[in-house]
Amino acid sequence: MPIRTTTLPSGEAVPVLGQGTWHMGEDRSRFAEEVAALRLGLDLGLTLIDTAEMYGNAESVVGEAIAGHRDSTFIVSKVLPSNASRSGTVAACERSLKRLGTDRIDLYLLHWRGGVPLRETVEALEALKAAGKIRHWGVSNFDADDMEELAALPAGGNCQTNQILYNLTRRGPEFDLLPWCRQHGMPIMAYSPVEQGRLARGGKLDAIAARHGATSAQIALAWTMARPGVIAIPKAVRAEHIRQNVAALDIKLAPENLAELDRLFAPPPRRQPLEMI
């Protein structure tokens, strides 16, 4: 079955469930296992893969996994803020392209804000897009005021997404950042949607999971993907977990389930600074 999609501001449809790669490639002995995991995900329809230059050798793992499947994948990577100058962004992108073994990145993100003026980074991203090195660009770990500043730049309206920490225990963005993104027709990408596994182990989701014949991790993931305009990018290496992630797409959380989750994990009553890990 095809994966449910959401739409970027450009009009392009992208899956609401992808594959994360944080910490992949750090242990050379697990390289083949990680490549196989990503390939299984691709076979199951998880064609969006998120990576970054910061993730050690993860881009090389992705490059091996997508070999022969490039045209059917949607690759997201990121430039470090320390490399985000006009020339540094271009050079970082070229290095990522080499590690990924491809001629273009589908969505290239500024990983978080640093000392380089935002206007300069945006100009570099626009230059990369004009050169065909990237198809779209976006940002990561930007709060609502950062998004306002970005939108005010000459090409700021070309931003396609904001990748942030968002899950049942990190609901702060719901107060102002998510409404801002929805108003501008921009999906967010939720990293660590299962809170690096802690939501699978905490016990608070066990009762709801049992009623759905699911795992706690699947409930946490289903909740994230049920939010309008949210793309979840969990990392999984075990085949069992990859299959469970895909199966979470079929979990329908009824209004009473969502109300129960609100009682267990309260939505924010006021603005909170954006969290990062």
pLDDT at residue 70, as a whole number: 96
- Rounded CA separation 61/174 (Å): 33
pLDDT < 50: residue spans in the chain: none
Q: What pLDDT, in 10s, does the model give residues 118-144?
A: 999 999 999 999 999 999 999 999 999
pLDDT at residue 168, as a whole number: 98
What's the Cα-to-Cα distance from 256 to each of 87, 224, 259, rounded to whole Å?
Answer: 52, 16, 5
Exposure of 135 by Cβ count < 10 A (0-12 exposed, 13-18 middle, 19+ buried)? middle
pLDDT at residue 150, as a whole number: 98
Q: Which amino acid is at 12?
A: E
Is 166 an annotated catalytic residue?
no
Contacts of 156 (CB under 8 A, 6+ apart): 122, 149, 150
Domain boundaries defined on the chain: 13-264
pLDDT at residue 1, as a whole number: 66
- CA angle 37-40-43, nearest 5°? 155
pLDDT at residue 109, as a whole number: 98
pLDDT at residue 56, as a whole number: 78
Q: Which amino acid is at 90?
A: V
Domain covering 13-264 in this structure, CATH number: 3.20.20.100
Q: How many CA atoms lie within 13 A of 275 on its CB side?
A: 17
Which residue among the candidates 55, 108, 166, 191 is catalytic per the annotation? 55
